[in-house]
Structures are given as C-alpha cells and as structure tokens.
Amino acid sequence: MGEVEQPPFVWQIRVYYEDTDAGGVVYHSNYLNFFERARTEFLRAKGIHQQDLRDKHKLIWVVLDMQIRFRKAAKLDDELQVTAEPTWVKGVRVGFRQRMTRVADGVEVATAELSVAMLHADNLKPARMPAWLESELTNG
C-alpha cells in the first residue's frame, strides 16, 4: 500500500440556515456534504476536475466506506475549516482522513476516515488510476 505524506488541504465553509435542524445545529447528514466538498476542492486545487475525469477519461470516484466521529455540534453561522488528506493509495482505492474544526475556537467538530474507489464511468467496474493521477494524489 502506497503511503502518502503531505500536509492536509484546508477548505473553509460557513454554516447556513439550510444546513441546520430546528435547533440551529448542523443536521448530521450535512457533515457528509462538507467532507465531500472539501475532497472535491482538494482535487480541484491539484488540477483534477471530476467533470473532466468523467468526460475525458471515463472515470468516476465512489465512496466505499466512511467512519465519522461527531465530537461537538456545529451551529448556524459557524465558520468551519475542513481538511482533506489522502493517506494511502492502493490500486483503484485511495484512503482519506478528514477533520472539521470551528474557526472561532479551534474546537474539533467531526472527523472522518474513508476510502474511495475509481470506477469506469460506463460500466461501473473498478479502474486502476492513471499514473498521472496517482502521482498528483501522492506527491504534495
């Protein structure tokens, strides 16, 4: 398994009313959206655009598994920093570690460990990552 060592990518978001439940707390499924957006922005910062992967290379990503730990509640108007950090690459799979913290006080809100797989867009069968893509993910 290829270990990856690079500093985490950091993306900032604000919690909007639409992200919360009736009590003004971020609804649990929206944490998934925040983590997903941070991974997308991590790829974009490396010049990897998911639309291009699909249209030009006929490749897509899917989440295989995810473990989330909710530490503290994020609330309406909180500014959050969400990290995305690849930790390993093996064949068609990439492991990620993510962390969400509140900007105002640095409190850890949630963490996630997950793996994603690359598939052929046309038949949804596993697809080995092109060398250029694996290099972008493993080299900071």
Domains of the chain with bracketed CATH:
2-135 (3.10.129.10)
Residue 50: the pLDDT is 93
Is the pLDDT reported for residue 76 higher than 80? yes
Are 86 and 95 within 8 A, CB to CB? Answer: yes
Q: What is the DSSP letter of 18?
A: G
Q: What is the C-alpha separation between 88 and 110, in angstroms, rounded?
A: 21
Query: By C-alpha distance, which of 138, 41, 139, 53 is closest to 98?
Result: 41
Contact 91, 40 (CB under 8 A): no
Instruction: Please give the pLDDT value at position 6.
Output: 76
Which residues are known catalytic residues?
21
Read off φ and ψ for residue 86, nearest 5 degrees: -70, 140
Backbone angles phi, psi at 63, to 5 degrees: -80, 130
The two tokens of residue 79 are 């500014």
* Average pLDDT value for residue range 104-115: 98
Note whether 26 and 15 are within 8 A (CB).
yes
Amino acid 5: pLDDT: 73
Torsion sign, CA atoms 38, 41, 46, 49: positive
> Is this model's pTM higher than 0.85 or not?
yes
pLDDT digit string (tens) for 9-54? 999 999 999 999 999 999 999 999 999 999 999 999 999 999 999 9
**Nearest partner of 86 among 33, 46, 47, judged by Cα:** 46
